[in-house]
Amino acid sequence: MVAMIRKNSLSRIKDEKGSWDLVIIGGGASGLGVALDALSRGLKVLLLEKSDFAKGTSSRSTKLVHGGVRYLAQGEIGLVLEALRERGRLLRNAPHLTINQPFVIPLYTHFDRLKYGLGLKIYDWMAGSLRLGKSKFVSREETIKRLPQIRQKGLKGGILYHDGQFDDARLALVIAKTCIEMGGCILNYARVNKLTKDDSGKINGLVFRDLIGKKNYVISATSVVNATGVFADKILQMDNPEARRMIQPSQGIHLVMDSSFLGGNDALMIPETSDGRVLFAVPWEGKLVVGTTDTLVKKPKMEPRPLAAEINFILDTASNYLVKPPKRADVLSVFAGLRPLAAPKEGSTKTKEISRSHKVIVSKSKLITITGGKWTTFRKMGEDTVDAHFKSQGISKIESTSADKHLHGYSEEKIKGHLQLYGTDAKFILDLQKKDSALAERIHENYPYTGAEVVFAVREEMALKIEDFLSRRCRILLLDAKASMLMAPKVAAIMAKELGKDEAWISEELEEFYKLARKYLINI
């Protein structure tokens, strides 16, 4: 038995006559942004993701919708302006998934007040009418009130400013569902094995394998988009084995710990660490997410491992600012993601020298590749990519309308608790709980997630594996890896019932998930 949404997508692919306007490879932030924008222009769109939506980098961010204060300091004015505009649009189009998050920069010198205060006033001004709140100096007493566990020795006060916060993996799901509602065909666990070309060498489609049904499909397309993030080079080399490497992966890790280490509801921003980085400590889902790092790595991996040096750097830096220094034993989960930065000039190894702005490249075969960027600008990345489709094909451009598109579940009503993230879908989960009291029970006594959410994830959100639910439909793997392992058997049993799977499937899934979850634990 295959969940209905996926079954319908496969049926449509089998029955579809003629060519798709756009076939997108990759179901992370960039691929979903391309699909959303293309559908807003009335194009016929198919998106294929080899794993689950946002399985890679797109579920491992700092959970911030932001303009990028540090990019402003680096002089990337255009990037910050673009991100601030997109930040405002995302908070407007998905109020159920986003919040206005206050941040405080603690000040230990009077010069810091001048430097950071001026920079953030410029940040406010650049945001214009989409500003989330005015930055201002706050006294020493208010800084301590807002950040109860901040180091008080030498503290002069703080700068308060505002940015956005969101749930990255849930945003990916919401965009996928929005795309389906707009007429798009969106499929996870669909691996592209081959690009096809006409006699002139122009790409005219691809071959993909449904990894669940174990079948191959041949697809015709006007344009194919490579939106595979850190794996973009693999598709580029599928197109041209001699293609030059374009991606330089940069790893960023985050440590998750109890919220008591910072206290309060405000986030901490450390603007300049010992090696010139920025560090955030952000309240999220009842925990504290602390990160990130910026470490060049040689090869991309689907499950990158945090380095000991990165873990120590975050713990040491946090210890300089917090009353109670966090130790390795305090870390509930550690997760790592890879940024798809444009490869630097020959011989350069500094991540600072690599621009964070996105780039759209069209190869001789007309393969369109989108690289770089970040979650905040996912929609604009999509718009620029679809513009490239029209230009490369010599087709008259249809104007984008994605900037004002409300995303699935849109609701301005605030629901108490974690169901807020579901927006209007919360009603379906509550209805499931009313119909079956067993589904209203918590899967883990310390966390609010219920069996009804597992059922909903399978029926309505294309979840096919235990990991899909525990890592991305709810975020417990990232919040508390040990708790996720305790929840796994109950989740597996509910999913097996929904998917029509047997005990062998449950055993295999559990073994696979436990192996994964152990990677999110720190060896003390």
Place of tokens 């899909």: 468
* 188 within a domain of the structure (yes/no): yes
Q: Is the pLDDT of residue 356 over 90?
A: no
Q: Residue 385 is part of a domain; what is its CATH number?
A: 3.50.50.60
C-alpha to C-alpha distance for 66 and 83, rounded to whole angstroms: 7
C-alpha to C-alpha distance for 336 and 360, rounded to whole angstroms: 26
Exposed e or buried b per residue across 341-377, where buried means at least 16 C-beta atoms within 10 angstroms of its C-beta:
bbebeeeeeebeebebbbebebeebbbbbbbbbbbbb
Q: Where are the alpha helices (DSSP H) in 351-450?
A: 378-393, 426-435
Tens of pLDDT, residue by residue over 154-201, are: 999 999 999 999 999 999 999 999 999 999 999 999 999 999 999 999
Same domain assignment for residues 256 and 139: yes
* 151 within a domain of the structure (yes/no): yes
Same domain assignment for residues 257 and 368: no
Same domain assignment for residues 151 and 261: yes
C-alpha radius of gyration, the chain, whole number: 23
Contact 35, 184 (CB under 8 A): yes
* Joined tokens for residue 129: 């009418």
The end-to-end CA distance of the chain, in Å, is 42
pLDDT tier at 277 (50, 70, 90 boundaries)? confident
Q: Residue 151 is part of a domain; what is its CATH number?
A: 3.30.9.10
* 401 within a domain of the structure (yes/no): no
Same domain assignment for residues 422 and 486: yes
Place of tokens 């003390």: 524
Total domains, the chain: 3
Same domain assignment for residues 364 and 431: no
Give the angle subtended at the CA of 133 by the CAs of 131 and 137, to the nearest 5°.
130
Same domain assignment for residues 324 and 254: yes
pLDDT tier at 3 (50, 70, 90 boundaries)? confident
Same domain assignment for residues 474 and 330: no
* 68 within a domain of the structure (yes/no): no
What pLDDT score does 344 carry? 60
pLDDT tier at 2 (50, 70, 90 boundaries)? low
C-alpha to C-alpha distance for 149 and 165, rounded to whole angstroms: 21
Contact 252, 374 (CB under 8 A): no
* 293 within a domain of the structure (yes/no): yes
* 484 within a domain of the structure (yes/no): yes
* Joined tokens for residue 432: 């499931």
C-alpha to C-alpha distance for 205 and 13, rounded to whole angstroms: 13
pLDDT tier at 15 (50, 70, 90 boundaries)? confident
Lowest mean pLDDT, pick from 229-238, 242-251, 444-453, 478-487 = 242-251
Q: DSSP character for 182?
A: T
Cα 500 to chain center, whole Å? 30
Contact 290, 72 (CB under 8 A): no
Tens of pLDDT, residue by residue over 317-341, are: 999 999 999 999 999 999 999 999 8
Q: Is the pLDDT of residue 395 over 70?
A: yes
C-alpha to C-alpha distance for 252 and 336, rounded to whole angstroms: 6
* pTM: predicted TM-score of the whole model, two decimal places: 0.96
- The contacts of residue 5 (CB under 8 Å, 6+ apart) are 180, 460, 462
Same domain assignment for residues 181 and 305: no
* Joined tokens for residue 16: 């579809």
Which structural domain range is residue 483 located in?
418-520
Q: Phi, psi at residue 146, to the nearest 5°? A: -80, -35
What pLDDT score does 353 carry? 44
Same domain assignment for residues 186 and 213: yes
Lowest mean pLDDT, pick from 16-20, 147-151, 350-354 = 350-354
Contact 273, 301 (CB under 8 A): no
Same domain assignment for residues 173 and 217: yes
* 49 within a domain of the structure (yes/no): yes
Q: Is the pLDDT of residue 107 over 60?
A: yes
Same domain assignment for residues 159 and 178: no
What pLDDT score does 348 carry? 47
* 86 within a domain of the structure (yes/no): no
Q: Residue 460 is part of a domain; what is its CATH number?
A: 1.10.8.870
Q: Is the pLDDT of residue 484 over 90?
A: yes
Same domain assignment for residues 374 and 453: no
Q: Phi, psi at residue 422, to the nearest 5°? A: -85, -15
